[in-house]
Structure 1
Amino acid sequence: MGVFSALTTAVSGLQAQSYALENISGNIANSRTAGFKRVDTTFSDLIPDSALNRQIAGSVAAYSQATTTIQGDLSATKIDTNAAINGDGFFVVDQRQSGLGTNTTFTNANLYTRRGDFDFDANGYLVNGAGYFLKGQKIDTVTGQVVGSQPEVLRITQEQYPAKATTSIEYRANIPAYPATTRSDKTVVGSELLQPAASYTAGSDPHSTTSGGNGVVIGTDLTNFLAQSIPGGAATVYDSLGKATSVDLRWAKVSNVSAGPPAVADTWNLFVAENTSATGATVAYRNANQNITFDSTGQMTAPASGNILLPTMTIAGTTITGISLTTGGTGLTQNGDVSGQIDARSIRQDGYTAGTLDRVSISAQGQVIGTFSNGQVKALAQIATARFNAGNALKRLDGGAFEETIESGAPIVGLGTSDLIGGNVEQSNTDIADEFSKMIVTQQAYSANTKVITTAQDMLRDVFAIIR
C-alpha cells in the first residue's frame, strides 16, 4: 500500500501545482486589467489518521488566497469621470437586468468593485469597462442635501439648469469723504453736495423721501444730477427667467457734518439708473430711499443692518425687485481719497441665467460635480461606497466585481479615512516579476511530483517482476 499511497500523494501534488499554475496564469493574463486583484495560492497538508509512530507526511490540497485589500498602482487617465479609491473601500455597482436606454431595468442588488473606469453611456448612466453601473444618491442642487437614503443607479442628464433671480449684490467699496463731482469746488462750502430741490425742475427732488424729496431724477435734470454725483460701479443682474440687465449705481453726498447743524453725520444717497437716455419728465435715476451715514472714523452707522434695498424698477424692459446691496456692515467705508472717486473693491451678485451641463468631475469626497455653461458648479450626486471588515472574504465575480458573503460581514457605508482620486484608475495589483518567479517554483514542484510517480512506477514494475 505504501507505493500506491505515494502515487496518490504525487497525483494530489500535481493537482495542487496545476491549480497554482492556473492562478498564476490568470494573474499574468489580467496584469493590465483595471482594478484586478491577483489570486495567490496556499497549500495545506492532509494527514491520514494513524498512530503517533506511524504518521506520514500525507497529501496536499491547494486553496485560493485573495488579495482584494491590496491596492494596485493609480494611473492618471485625464478622464474626469474616472475615479480610483486611495485606501480601503469599494464602489457600489449594479448590473443590467433587461431593457435598453431609458427603459433599462437593474437587478437592484449591491455589488462591489475597485474598477473605477466609469464613463457616461448614451443615456447618462456611469458605466465602467466591465459593464457595471455606478450607484449613489442624487443631491438637490438648490439645498445641497442628499436625496433619499438608499443608493440607486446614477443617471446624470443634460437637462438645462434653471436660472436664479438676483437677490443680493455684495458691495465692498470706499466712498471718498470729499466727492470730486463736476460741480465741487473746495473754495465753496457745500459745493460737493447734492443741491437743494430748488435747483431741480418743479416736482423733481432726487433726495431720499425720508428727507422730504420724491427720490427721482427726471430727464430734464439728468445733466444737473450727473454733475453733483459720482459713479459707484455696475453689476449685471438677472430676473427669474435669467434675463440679464445692468444695474448702474451712483452716489451723491447730501450732508456734511463738518458744515455743522442741522447736519449730524456725513450722509449719502444711493441712486440706480433706470434710463440714462431719459428726456423730459421720464425717470432717469431712482433713489434707494435710505440715508447712508458714516461716523468720524469712516465707518457706516446707518442702515444698521448694512443692507441697502434697491428700488423696484424696470430697466431696459427687465423688472428688478427685492435686490439688496449687502455690505456686511464693514464693507462700505467713507475715508479720504485724493481721487475723489469711489474705490469699488468688490461687486458680486448671486443670480445667474439658465445653463447646460458642460462637464462632470468627481471630488475627493465622492461627489459628482457638474460644471454648467452659466458658470455654476454644483454637486449632482454622492457616489455610494462601502468597506468590509473582511474584504478578502468577498466572493469574486466576472469583471472585477465582488459579492457580499457571510464571511466578509455586512458592508460599512462610506470611505472612512480613504478618499477618491478623480481622473485616475486603479491598475491590477499583479507583479509580473513575482508571478514569473512563482511560475518557476511551481514548474519545478510539478516536475518533482512527476518524478515521484516515475519512481513509484519503477517500484511497482519490480514487484510485478517477482512473480515471473
Structure 2
Amino acid sequence: MGIFDALNTSVGGLQAQSFALQNISGNIANASTTGYKGIGTSFEDLIPDATTPSKQNAGGVTAFAQATITTQGTVTSTTVATNMAINGDGFFSVQKATSVTDNVPVFSGVTDYTRRGDFQVNANGNLVNGAGYYLMGITVDPKTGNPTGNVPQVLQFQNNFIPAQATSAIQYAANLPTQPKTPASSSAATGTITAAGGLNPADFASNPLPVGTPAAPYTDNTITGSAALNQASTPAPITSATKLSGTAPSDSLPTGFVSGDVIVVNGTSLNFIAGTTSSGTNIAIGDNVGALLSAIQTITGVAPTINASTGAITLHTGTASNLNITSTAPAFSSLGFSSPVTAARGGGGTAGTGFVIANDITAFTNESISGGAVTCYNQAGTPVNLQLRWAKTDSASLGTGHQDTWNLFYQTSTTATGTGVAWVNSGTKFTFSSNGALSSPTGSAITIPGVVVDGQTLGSISVNISSGALTQYASSAGAATINTISQNGFAAGQLQSVSIANSGLVIGTFSNGQNIDLAQVTLSHFNGTNYLKALDGGAYEVTDLSGPAIIGASGKISGSSLEGSNTDIADEFTKLIVTQQAYSANTKVITTANNMVQDLLNVLR
C-alpha cells in the first residue's frame, strides 16, 4: 500500500466521519421531537487482501447507520386526552393520506408504524398525530363492549350517536336498620309489629304484602259489659244487693224479660218463652243466665263468662265472624250492654294484594322507610324517577316463630287517588339471620316484573344484590343506609369528546353523560425491529429484514402521555468531539501524504 492509497484511505475516513457528523447533527436537531429514535454510526474497516499476515495493512473504513428504535424514550404526561405513549415494545399502526377528496382523506392502504403518539381529533373525527399519520385500531360495539373485528382500520369518530338504552338492571347495596324508626313506631303498642318499626297489614284497606300472601288467621276478641243487676232468686227485687254472686248457671235471668222478647246474635234469633226450661234457641224467662249464655256459645263457638263479683258478662267474638247482637227487649240493658253490641275479630283481613292504594299512603309512609331513588330510562330514553321504600313485615324481636323480614316497594304513581294503586310490592321477601346477613333470597338478583311509573313502562327490571351488599345491622338513625344505587339505562346521546385510557381503549364522552368504549388501539411488534425503514415524521416501513408486523406487542399504552426523543444530548456532544478530532486527524494524514508526494517529486528534480 502506497502513499496514494493512504490518501484514498484518509478520504474514506473523512467521508465516514462526515457520515457520523451528519447522524449526530440529526440526533441533536431532533432532541425534542416526539417519539424520535436516534441514529448511531457504525464504522467498518475495509481490509485489502494480503498474501501473508505479515504483509497485512490496516486498510480503509466505511460507515453505516445504526438504528436505536428499540431504545425507550422518556415518557411524560400531557394535558391532551388523546395523547399516547408506549411503555415497552410495540408500535401504533398508522396510515398517511395520499390525497384529500371533498375534505375526506384518501389512503393507499399501506400501513406504517410509529411510536409518535401526539394524536388529536381533526375535523373529520380522525386521530392524527403531529406528522400527519392517521391512527388505526379495532372498533368496539358500544352496547356490548366487544371488538367488531380483528383487522385494524383507520379510526373515525365523527358524529357518533348512541341510541337510548332502556334500564334493565339496578345495582343496589344498602344496610337496613335492625329497628326501623318510623313515624308510627314511637306511638304503637309495645309488642306489635308497628312498634318494632314494621308494617301492619290490618292498618290497610288493601293488604300490601306480596300477592298470594295469606291473610293473618282470625283470633278471638272480647267485649265486657257493665256490672249486671241479675237477680239471684225469683222474685227478689233487682238491687245492688242481688248482683250475681255465683256462677252463671246458678243465677236466674233478670226480671223484665217477657215471653216474645227476642235477642238476635249474628243473625240467629234467640226467642224468650214462658216457663223455666230452655231448649235450643228458645230461652225460658224463668231459666238462669247460663241458659242464655250457652245459647250464645252455640252461635259464636266460645262460651261467654261472668265476673262473679260484679255480674259483668264478657262476650267472645269467636273466629267464625264478627260479633253482632241486637234486641228491642227493654230488659236487655240489665245484662250490662246496650243494643247493639258489636265487636270485631282479631287478625284476619285480606290476602296480600301486592300494592298500596292511594287511600293507604299515609299508613304506608308512617310504617316504612325510604330505600332511595334512581333515574331510570324507558326504551325511548325518557327519564323516569324510580322511588323505593322498605317495609319490615316481621321482626325477630316479637319472639319465637318470628324472623326479620322486609318487603321492597316502588312508587308506580305519584298522582293516584282513592283506590288507585300508588306503590307496588316487588313480590320478594328479604329475610335476615341474627348476625345481620341476608338469608333469602339466596341468588344475586331479584326481578321486579312489569315496572310502570306514572304511565312510563320500564318493563321487568333486575335488582342486582351481590354477596354482602344487603345487610341488616343496628343503626342509631333507624333509616336505610344506601351504599350503591345505579342503573344501566341512558338517553340517546351525541359524541362530545374522546380520550384514550391506559388500556388503549378510545373512550367517547356523550351528551347524555355516558362514557362509551369506541375502539381499541392495537400495538404491533417485529422480530427485527431495528431493521425497519425510517420514514419522515417518526414512522417506519416494513422491510424484508424486519419481518412482517405481529399484532399483540408486550408494551403498555399510557394515556395522556408522550414518549420523547431517545437522544442523549451529552452523549451526542461527546460523539461530536470524537468525530471532530477524527476528522481533523484524517485531514492531517492527507497533509502528511501530500508532503511526502512533494518530497518524492523533489527527488526527481
Hey, what's the Cα distance between the residues in 1 that align with 2:397 and 2:128? 72
Query: Are 1:223 and 2:225 counterparts?
Result: no
Hey, what's the Cα distance between the residues in 1 that align with 2:208 and 2:530? 78
Corresponding position of 1:401: 539
Corresponding position of 2:286: none
Larger Rg computed on CA atoms: 2
Q: 2:530 is paired with a residue of what secondary structure? A: helix
Hey, what's the Cα distance between the residues in 1 that align with 2:450 and 2:581? 90
- Residue 277 of structure 1 deviates from its aligned partner by 3.7
The Cα offsets for residues 141-182 of structure 1, whole Å up to 9 and x where unpaired, read as: 222222212111122234233332222223333334544333
Query: Are 1:430 and 2:567 counterparts?
Result: yes
Hey, what's the Cα distance between the residues in 2 that align with 1:9 and 1:115? 40
> Which of the numbers 415, 433, 437 marks the counterpart of 2:553?
415
Corresponding position of 2:375: 236
Query: Are 1:152 and 2:153 counterparts?
Result: yes
The Cα offsets for residues 373-430 of structure 1, whole Å up to 9 and x where unpaired, read as: 44433332221212223222111111111122222233332231x3222222222222
Hey, what's the Cα distance between the residues in 2 that align with 1:2 and 1:104? 61
- Residue 123 of structure 1 deviates from its aligned partner by 0.9
Q: Which amino acid aligns with 2:61?
A: V
Query: Are 1:348 and 2:486 counterparts?
Result: yes
Corresponding position of 2:271: none
Q: 2:9 is paired with a residue of what secondary structure? A: helix
- Following superposition of structure 1 onto structure 2, how do residues 355-374 of structure 1 map, counting pairs within 5 Å? 355-374=493-512
The Cα offsets for residues 175-220 of structure 1, whole Å up to 9 and x where unpaired, read as: 34544333331436344454446x545xx44332212233333323
Hey, what's the Cα distance between the residues in 1 that align with 2:553 and 2:503? 8
Corresponding position of 1:208: 210
Query: Are 1:175 and 2:173 counterparts?
Result: no
- Following superposition of structure 1 onto structure 2, how do residues 264-275 of structure 1 map, counting pairs within 5 Å? 265-275=403-413
Q: 1:300 to 1:437 in 2, by over 3 A?
A: closer
Q: Which amino acid aligns with 1:229?
A: S
Q: Which amino acid aligns with 2:578?
A: V
The Cα offsets for residues 340-397 of structure 1, whole Å up to 9 and x where unpaired, read as: 4333333222222333434433333322233444443333222121222322211111
Return 161-170 or 356-365, whichever deviates more: 356-365
Check whether the contact 1:360–1:370 (CA below 8 A) recurs between aligned residues. Answer: yes
Hey, what's the Cα distance between the residues in 2 that align with 1:431 and 1:196? 81
The Cα offsets for residues 104-162 of structure 1, whole Å up to 9 and x where unpaired, read as: 22122221212111111111111111111111111222222222121111222342333
Q: Which amino acid aligns with 2:210?
A: S
Corresponding position of 1:287: 425
In the superposition, the TM-score normalised over structure 2's length comes to 0.70
The Cα offsets for residues 89-110 of structure 1, whole Å up to 9 and x where unpaired, read as: 2222112123346742212222
Q: 1:423 to 1:464 in 2, by over 3 A?
A: same
Check whether the contact 2:414–2:454 (CA below 8 A) recurs between aligned residues. Answer: no
Check whether the contact 2:530–2:546 (CA below 8 A) recurs between aligned residues. Answer: yes
Check whether the contact 1:41–1:64 (CA below 8 A) recurs between aligned residues. Answer: yes
Corresponding position of 2:390: 251
- Residue 322 of structure 1 deviates from its aligned partner by 0.6
Hey, what's the Cα distance between the residues in 1 that align with 2:369 and 2:585? 98
Q: 1:134 to 1:75 in 2, by over 3 A?
A: same
Q: 1:464 to 1:297 in 2, by over 3 A?
A: closer
- Residue 299 of structure 1 deviates from its aligned partner by 4.3
Corresponding position of 1:120: 121
Hey, what's the Cα distance between the residues in 1 that align with 2:18 and 2:114? 28
Return 224-233 or 56-65, whichever deviates more: 224-233
In the superposition, the TM-score normalised over structure 1's length comes to 0.88
- Residue 460 of structure 1 deviates from its aligned partner by 3.0
Return 154-163 or 137-146, whichever deviates more: 154-163
Q: 1:223 to 1:311 in 2, by over 3 A?
A: farther
Q: 1:296 to 1:94 in 2, by over 3 A?
A: same
In structure 1, the gaps of 5 or more residues are: none
Check whether the contact 2:193–2:393 (CA below 8 A) recurs between aligned residues. Answer: no
Corresponding position of 2:16: 16
Check whether the contact 2:34–2:116 (CA below 8 A) recurs between aligned residues. Answer: yes
Corresponding position of 2:192: 189
Q: 1:410 to 1:292 in 2, by over 3 A?
A: same
Check whether the contact 1:210–1:289 (CA below 8 A) recurs between aligned residues. Answer: no
Q: 1:366 to 1:230 in 2, by over 3 A?
A: closer
Check whether the contact 1:101–1:123 (CA below 8 A) recurs between aligned residues. Answer: no
Q: 1:457 is paired with a residue of what secondary structure? A: helix
Q: Which amino acid aligns with 2:572?
A: E
Corresponding position of 1:38: 38
Hey, what's the Cα distance between the residues in 1 that align with 2:572 and 2:194? 90
Query: Are 1:444 and 2:445 counterparts?
Result: no
Q: Which amino acid aligns with 1:56?
A: N
Q: 1:431 to 1:325 in 2, by over 3 A?
A: closer
- Residue 466 of structure 1 deviates from its aligned partner by 4.4
Q: 1:366 to 1:345 in 2, by over 3 A?
A: closer
Q: 2:537 is paired with a residue of what secondary structure? A: helix
Hey, what's the Cα distance between the residues in 2 that align with 1:446 and 1:298? 85
Hey, what's the Cα distance between the residues in 2 that align with 1:6 and 1:298? 96
Corresponding position of 2:515: 377
The Cα offsets for residues 324-349 of structure 1, whole Å up to 9 and x where unpaired, read as: 23333643344554544333333222
Hey, what's the Cα distance between the residues in 1 that align with 2:435 and 2:50? 101
Q: Which amino acid aligns with 2:212?
A: T
The Cα offsets for residues 255-293 of structure 1, whole Å up to 9 and x where unpaired, read as: 4566579x7644443322122342223322222234444
Identity of aligned residues (%): 48
In structure 2, the gaps of 5 or more residues are: 214-350
Return 424-433 or 221-230, whichever deviates more: 221-230
Q: 1:113 to 1:346 in 2, by over 3 A?
A: closer
Return 304-313 or 80-89, whichever deviates more: 304-313
Q: Which amino acid aligns with 2:29?
A: A
Check whether the contact 2:503–2:558 (CA below 8 A) recurs between aligned residues. Answer: no
Hey, what's the Cα distance between the residues in 2 that align with 1:401 and 1:110? 10
Hey, what's the Cα distance between the residues in 1 that align with 2:570 and 2:434? 79
Hey, what's the Cα distance between the residues in 2 that align with 1:467 and 1:257? 128
Q: Which amino acid aligns with 1:208?
A: P
Q: Which amino acid aligns with 2:561?
A: N
The Cα offsets for residues 41-61 of structure 1, whole Å up to 9 and x where unpaired, read as: 222222222322332222221
Hey, what's the Cα distance between the residues in 2 that align with 1:106 and 1:348? 44
Q: How many residues align?
A: 463
Q: 1:12 is paired with a residue of what secondary structure? A: helix
Q: 1:321 is paired with a residue of what secondary structure? A: strand
Q: Which amino acid aligns with 1:173?
A: A
Q: 1:259 to 1:460 in 2, by over 3 A?
A: closer
Hey, what's the Cα distance between the residues in 2 that align with 1:256 and 1:40? 81
Check whether the contact 2:207–2:355 (CA below 8 A) recurs between aligned residues. Answer: yes
The Cα offsets for residues 198-245 of structure 1, whole Å up to 9 and x where unpaired, read as: x545xx443322122333333233223333333322222111222112
Q: Which amino acid aligns with 1:452?
A: V
Q: Which amino acid aligns with 1:402?
A: Y
Hey, what's the Cα distance between the residues in 2 that align with 1:156 and 1:462? 77
Hey, what's the Cα distance between the residues in 2 that align with 1:306 and 1:439? 69
